[in-house]
Amino acid sequence: MISTFFRRDRLLLWGGMLLVGILLPRFSSSGLMISLLCQIGIMMIFALSYNVLLGQTGLLSFGHAIYYGAGAFATMHLLNAIGKEGSVVHVALLPLGGGVAALLLGILLGWVTTKKAGTTFAMISLGIGEMVAASSLMFPVVFGGEAGVSGNRVIDKIGLFGVTFGPQVQVYYLIVAWVFVAAMGMFALTQTPLGRMANAVRDNPERAEFVGYNTQWVRYIMLVLSGFFAGIAGGLTALTYEIVTAETLNAYTSGAVLLMTFVGGIGFFYGPMIGAILIVIMQILVGGITHAWQLYFGLLFLFMVLRAPGGFASLIAIQRRLYAAGLFGRVAPWYLVSGIPGALMLVGLIGLIEMTYAALSDEEGEGAIATIKLLGEDYALNTFGPWLAAAAVTLAGYALLQLANRRLFREWNGALATLQGDND
């Protein structure tokens, strides 16, 4: 396991990822960008922890947010407890306390949850998740009621080497460090005998039991470890926003991490990281542009289910195989040919969605919006012109995309057949 983990190519990859994380704020130091990067880093850990269950062990959980929330609340209480007696070193280690709190919660609830796998596990996790989320408002001493629990991460005015965690960029670098440590830890877990046995339990639990392994114990241990890393993500959330509310425990948070993991690709270790980047960007950047961002996210999810059920990571893996075999140049030009009508269709579809959303909205109680600004121009929604133009662009883009895709898929399938023949 050690020799596999410390392979030269993997060390270079880990080092490259760390270097990119360190250099990203140099390209843009705006508050929005730093906040976006912080959220992406936190969600990377959270999505990777969820994939320990779904991708590695085959457990579909609808209540993973309770471990994330437990880590967040525990970290906030620890932050308030150390107060003026603490230092930046204590603050930097607080996410570990959140991870331990989530680990203890996993030990407490995990045995009941993992008695069964499949649909039964999913329903039990949903029930326990909703129970914990509903109970959060009943214990204001722990969860702070509707206002939540808040604190101040700047407990050391002088700090160590000038680090006080007051500026957001300092918190970002703390998140980068924890992402690096947590990701390496979870990857190392996949290379251990426990990780391999979790894969066996996922693929064929009957055979795993036949060779002498207790499948419930394997599921239980993996759930506890998954909760630990989710608690670290929750702890980082508490330090970043300095407030934790009951929303960190609810079903929306559990659903969001599930979608991040699926869109990114559950069959690949780095898949959830890609999903976290995409979903956070949609939530923050696209959500800041349009109120209909959830509809766009739904369409993206539908597209992934129909066209790429293996997630974005599976598409990247195919391109890597084609490139390694010298076949990527065969299909690359056709990506561009299909991309142009695809972009045209997307522009028309966005226009239709935005106009429909504006026409149906009644935010001020004075009726629907009469005009909308798209691409820097104002369009009247009570005329047929903008609607016909958007519909025509969408249909034309779709028709051209179908024609282009025929050749693209022909070349793609031919390249994959050649690749398969070389492997045989």
pLDDT digits over 344-396, tens only? 999 899 888 888 887 777 554 444 556 777 766 777 777 788 889 889 999 99
In a domain, 308, yes or no: no
User: Do residues 128 and 256 both lie within one domain?
Assistant: yes
pLDDT band at 421 (very low <50, low <70, confident <90, very high): low
Mean pLDDT of 83-97: 86
Residues 141 and 207 in one domain: yes
Q: Please report whether residue 317 resides in a domain.
A: no
Domain presence at residue 320: no
For residues 283 and 363, state if they share a domain: no
Domain housing 368: 325-423
SS3 per-residue string spanning 233-262? HHHHHHHHHCEECHHHHCHHHHHHHHHHHH
Do residues 231 and 375 share a domain?
A: no
Instruction: Say if residues 239 and 73 touch (Cβ distance below 8 Å).
Output: no
Give a yes or no: residue 329 inside a domain: yes
- When pLDDT is cut at 50, 70 and 90, the band that residue 423 belongs to is low
Residue 380 pairs with which residues in a beta bridge? 371
Q: What per-residue confidence (pLDDT) applies to 10?
A: 75
Domain termination site, one of 250, 274, 295: 295
What was the pLDDT predicted at 304? 86
Is residue 381 packed enough to be buried (19+ CB in 10 Å), middle (13-18) or exposed (0-12)?
A: middle
Same domain, 253 and 397: no
Check whether 4 has a pLDDT greater than 80.
no
Model confidence pLDDT, tens digit, residues 331-352: 888 888 889 999 999 989 988 8
Shared-domain flag, residues 164 and 238 = yes
Is residue 283 assigned to a domain?
Answer: yes
CATH of residue 62's domain is 1.10.3470
Higher pLDDT, 228 or 160: 228
**In 3-state terms, what secondary structure has residue 150?**
strand
Q: How many domains does the chain have?
A: 2
What predicted TM-score, i.e. pTM, was given to this entire model?
Answer: 0.90
**Structural domain includes residue 416:** yes
Task: Give strand pairing partners of 378.
Answer: 373
Lowest pLDDT segment from 162-171, 224-233, 280-289, 372-381: 372-381
288 and 173 in a common domain: yes
In a domain? residue 258: yes
Q: Mean pLDDT across the chain, nearest whole number?
A: 87
**Which tens digits make up the pLDDT trace of 44-74?**
999 999 999 999 999 999 999 999 999 999 9
Task: Report the pLDDT value the prediction gives residue 159, as an integer from 0 to 100.
Answer: 66
Q: Are residues 149 and 40 in the same domain?
A: yes
Task: Calculate mean pLDDT across residues 159-181.
Answer: 88
Predicted confidence at residue 365, as pLDDT, reads 46
**Are residue 137 and residue 23 in the same domain, yes or no?**
yes
Q: Are residues 143 and 10 in the same domain?
A: yes
Number of Cβ atoms within 10 Å of the Cβ of 12: 10
Does residue 241 share a domain with residue 122? yes
- Indicate if 55 and 198 belong to the same structural domain: yes
Q: Is residue 90 part of a domain?
A: yes
Q: Measure the CA–CA gap between 175 and 173, rounded to whole angstroms.
A: 5
